[in-house]
Amino acid sequence: MMQFMTVFKREMLEAGRNFKWIWVPLVFILLGITDPISTYYMPQIIESVGGLPEGATFEIPTPPPHDVLMMSLAQYSQLGVLVVALMSMGLISGERKSGVAELVLVKPVKYSTYVTAKWGAVNVLVLVSFFAGMLASWYYVNLLFGDVSFIHLLWTWFFYGLWLLFVISISVFMNTLFKVPGLVGFLTILFVIITSIITNIFSHVLDWSPAKLSGYIRTMLSEGSIPADLWGTALVTIGISTALLIAAIYTFRTKEMA
């Protein structure tokens, strides 16, 4: 536990010193509030730049509040995932490439501790940032479109947070497989895309694929209660993430740090 905290704290210190603790939350907030604001001003924007013929009226129905919240989520599933993948691509691979890992791993630190502490540190940063972003989005949605209950916001954060945790687990796994950060980032994104594609193709079978989390979250928001499938999907996501983490520890242990 002490070794875990040592690695974890060092990661936190680094994230503070290189401003990750500033820019990651800000980027997530930015992603969260862009859609509520732009959707709100959409009619005016279209009116002024769209060049509608004189007299033509153009009715854009105001979307229900939970749809706007889902727009923010869509931002996270694209740009958010991209940021997470790029931000974590050097987590372990970078240290191995530069050679710092050599100095760290000759100390009697457990490989499993080293990997999980790093995984934990990224998760804390990302999930806190994601919470800040969702909170900001929720604030704007409530202000401009109508009420979404806070409890639903918390559930949305929790369930979608699992998706981000899944992405981080993929990244950590790739980090132990390859020494080149760019390749790690690329493969992480590729893995996420393939997961989505496979889920789309075999949609009827893969009811609980992690890629379906956001679909079920939409159902939850519109119906007001948590669908059973969401729980199932959450469990599967946690399971796959754990498996990825264990696989990461295993490859890290067997792969020589040369």
Partner 1 sequence: MTEVFETINWALVAPLLVIQLILQVVALIDWFRIEHTNGPKIMWLFIILLLNMIGPILYFVIGRRQD
Partner 2 sequence: MSLLTVQDLKKSYDGKPVIQGIDFSINKGSCVALLGPNGAGKTTTLRMLSGLIRSSGGKISFEGMSDQSDIRFNIGYLPQHPVFHTWMSGKEFLIYVARLANMDKQIASKRADELLARVGIADAKNKRIGKYSGGMKQRLGIAQAMIHQPKLLMLDEPVSALDPIGRREVLTLMEELKQETTLLFSTHILNDAEEVSDELLLMHNGKIVEAGSLEGVRQKYRVDKLDVSFQEGFTPEEAKITALPTVLRMETNKGVHHIFVNDTNQARDEFLQLIYTEGWPLERFEVGRASLEDLFMKVVNP
Reduced to 3 states, what is the DSSP secondary structure of residue 2? helix
List of residues 6+ apart from 130 with CB closer than 8 A: 28, 76, 80, 157, 160, 161, 164
Q: In the structure encoding, which two tokens stand for residue 169, read together?
A: 């687990």
C-alpha torsion angle, residues 42, 161, 85, 81 (rounded to 10): -20
Pattern 27-66, partner 1, x by CB under 8 A: x-xx--xx--x--xx--xx-xxx-----------------
Q: In the structure encoding, which two tokens stand for residue 21, read together?
A: 């603790």
Query: What's the DSSP call for residue 255?
Result: S
Residues in the chain: 258
d(CA 161, CA 164): 5
If one asks whether residue 22 binds partner 1 (CB under 8 A), the answer comes out as yes
Pattern 43-82, partner 2, x by CB under 8 A: ----------------------------------------
- Whose Cβ is closer to partner 2: residue 111's or residue 157's? 111
Q: Decide which of partner 2, partner 1, none touches 34; Cβ closer than 5 to 8 Å per partner kind.
A: partner 1
Query: What's the DSSP call for residue 64?
Result: P
If one asks whether residue 22 binds partner 2 (CB under 8 A), the answer comes out as no
If one asks whether residue 1 binds partner 2 (CB under 8 A), the answer comes out as no
Pattern 133-172, partner 1, x by CB under 8 A: ---x---x--xx----------------------------
- Whose Cβ is closer to partner 2: residue 55's or residue 99's? 99
Contact indicator for 120, 6 with CB cutoff of 8 Å: no
Sign of the CA dihedral 42, 43, 45, 49? positive
Q: Decide which of partner 1, partner 2, none touches 256; Cβ closer than 5 to 8 Å per partner kind.
A: partner 2
d(CA 197, CA 193): 6
Choices 21-29, 192-200, 205-213, 226-234 (CB under 8 A): range interacting with partner 1: 21-29
d(CA 77, CA 17): 27
- Give, as ranges, the residues between 79 and 108 that touch partner 2 (CB under 8 A): 98-100, 102-108
d(CA 2, CA 62): 53
- Whose Cβ is closer to partner 2: residue 3's or residue 219's? 3
Pattern 106-135, partner 2, x by CB under 8 A: xxxx--------------------------
Q: Decide which of partner 2, partner 1, none touches 198; Cβ closer than 5 to 8 Å per partner kind.
A: none
Q: How far is the CB of 100 from partner 2 (least distance, A)?
A: 5
